[in-house]
């Protein structure tokens, strides 16, 4: 006679099976790691990071195969020049050499490892109030992405020609 599992145990067994499956596919990760990455994914989504950091977004056709791989449209900011949303994936052309702490510092303070700093368009002042948990969740998510090789142009000094499409930021009365 075959015993059937009670319906109440089936979700618990499914969760255990998924955890074991993930442990085989991704050794070294835990449920806590997965939860942190998922929280980071959620925060990146609601913050709209893909708007400025995914190719094609500003042209009306985001290239989801290169999600967060860097913009192909620049922002012309008076007095700053032309800047492009950089590649946020863990590829060497993106955040590949950045540590988790360096990503968190950039998100919160605008300070980059090379000392150049983030451009005024990046809303790091708004992100400076993130909790440690949320800031590190975003960094964990960015580090978990599939690397996209995309050496984004820029920054381009004021007056120099742009290598691709540009959106101009015009101040009132300008």
Q: What is the pLDDT of residues 109-159, one digit of tens each?
A: 999 999 988 887 789 999 999 999 999 999 999 999 999 999 999 789 999
Q: What is the pTM of this model?
A: 0.78
pLDDT at residue 13, rounded to an integer: 45
Q: Which residues fall within 8 angstroms of residue 167, CB to CB, at 6 or more apart? A: 58, 73, 74, 75, 76
Distances in Å between the alpha carbon of 66 and those of 80, 88, 91, 153?
A: 27, 10, 11, 16
């Amino acid at each position: 006679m075959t015993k059937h599992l009670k319906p109440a145990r089936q979700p618990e067994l499914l969760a255990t099976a998924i955890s074991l499956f993930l442990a085989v596919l991704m050794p070294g990760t835990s449920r806590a790691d997965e939860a942190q990455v998922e929280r980071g994914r959620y925060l990146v989504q609601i913050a709209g990071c893909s708007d400025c950091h995914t190719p094609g977004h500003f042209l009306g056709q985001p290239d989801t195969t290169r999600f967060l791989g860097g913009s192909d449209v620049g922002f012309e900011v008076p007095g700053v020049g032309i800047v492009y949303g950089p590649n946020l994936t863990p590829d060497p052309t993106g955040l590949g050499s950045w540590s988790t702490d360096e990503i968190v510092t950039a998100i919160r303070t605008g300070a980059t490892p090379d000392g150049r700093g983030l451009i005024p368009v990046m809303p790091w002042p708004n992100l400076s109030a993130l909790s440690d948990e949320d800031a590190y969740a975003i960094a964990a998510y960015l580090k978990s992405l599939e690397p996209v090789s995309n050496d984004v142009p820029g920054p381009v000094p004021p007056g120099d020609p742009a290598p691709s499409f540009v959106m101009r930021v015009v101040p009132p009365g300008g």
